[in-house]
């Protein structure tokens, strides 16, 4: 049925799929701790994702139920992350500025900065560029991928590899 949805936008196949999976998804989500309302909402969002992403379904990789329940699980995780309360500042936080660092702290900071600069200089030009984009310009992986014209997974891999190399270089510098 998913393949019919992908190929032809078959509404009847989707209706049958919805009728079969929506109640099962709701039960699955409620058993995992969600309220009936939240479970219903995520079940519907899951089925909407199935409609939109039917072309991505590959029966050689997973069965229809596995694919659909994985989408539901991921949507549930995303919903729980959105609901997580923002951390509160400690109650003793006041508006007084931090004291100026002493001479020793300044020297240690300068030494650390010099080591980081040396490690960055030892990276390949591509790795140094991706580290600068990710950490100094604070760009998300999606934006880095778009800017470099590479897939998102490749951007993530390159950031991880560059950081691993940077970490190794910093350990060697002591």
Nearest 5°: the CA angle 31, 34, 37 is 115
Would you say residue 36 has pLDDT above 70?
yes
**DSSP characters over 18-80:** HHHHHHHHHHHHHHTT--HHHHHHHHHHHHHHHHHHGGG--TTT--HHHHHHHHHHHHHHHHH
Highest mean pLDDT among 37-51, 103-117, 130-144: 37-51
Q: Which CATH code for domain 115-173?
A: 1.10.10.10
Burial of 60 (0-12, 13-18, 19+ CB in 10 A): exposed
- SS3 string, 100-154, reads CCCHHHHHHHHHHHHHHHHHHHHCCHHHHHHHHHHHHCCCCHHHHHHHHCCCHHH
pLDDT in tens, 53-102: 888 878 888 788 888 899 999 999 888 888 776 554 455 555 555 566 67
- Predicted pLDDT of residue 119: 82
Across 26-42, average pLDDT: 90
**CATH no., domain 2-83:** 1.10.1740.10
Q: What are the sequence ranges of the domains in the chain? A: 2-83, 115-173
Query: Is residue 172 pLDDT above 50, yes or no?
Result: yes
* Identical topology for domains 2-83 and 115-173: no
pTM: 0.47
98-127 CB burial, b ≥16 within 10 A, e <16: eeeeeeeeeeeeeeeeeeeeebbebbeeeb
pLDDT value of position 106: 74
- Is residue 153 pLDDT above 80, yes or no? yes
Residues 6+ apart with CB under 8 A from 139: 133, 147
pLDDT at site 42: 92
Ramachandran angles phi, psi of 64, nearest 5°: -60, -45
What confidence score (pLDDT) does residue 89 get?
A: 45
Mean pLDDT of 151-157: 90
| Mean pLDDT taken over the chain | 82
């Amino acid at each position: 049925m998913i393949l019919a949805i992908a190929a032809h936008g078959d509404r009847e196949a989707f209706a049958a799929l919805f009728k079969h999976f929506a109640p099962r998804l709701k039960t699955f989500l409620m058993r995992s701790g969600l309220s009936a309302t939240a479970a219903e909402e995520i079940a519907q969002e899951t089925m909407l994702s199935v409609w939109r992403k039917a072309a991505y379904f590959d029966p050689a990789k997973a069965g229809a139920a596995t694919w659909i329940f994985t989408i539901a699980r991921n949507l549930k995780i995303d919903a729980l992350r959105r609901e997580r309360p923002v951390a509160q500042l400690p109650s003793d936080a006041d508006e007084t500025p931090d004291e100026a660092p002493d001479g020793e702290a300044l020297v240690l900071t300068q030494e650390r900065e010099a080591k980081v600069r040396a490690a960055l200089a030892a990276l390949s030009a591509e790795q140094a560029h991706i580290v600068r984009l990710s950490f100094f310009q604070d760009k998300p992986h999606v934006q880095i991928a778009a800017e470099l014209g590479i897939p998102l997974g490749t951007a993530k891999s390159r950031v991880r590899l560059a950081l691993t190399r940077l970490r190794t270089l910093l350990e060697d510098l002591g």
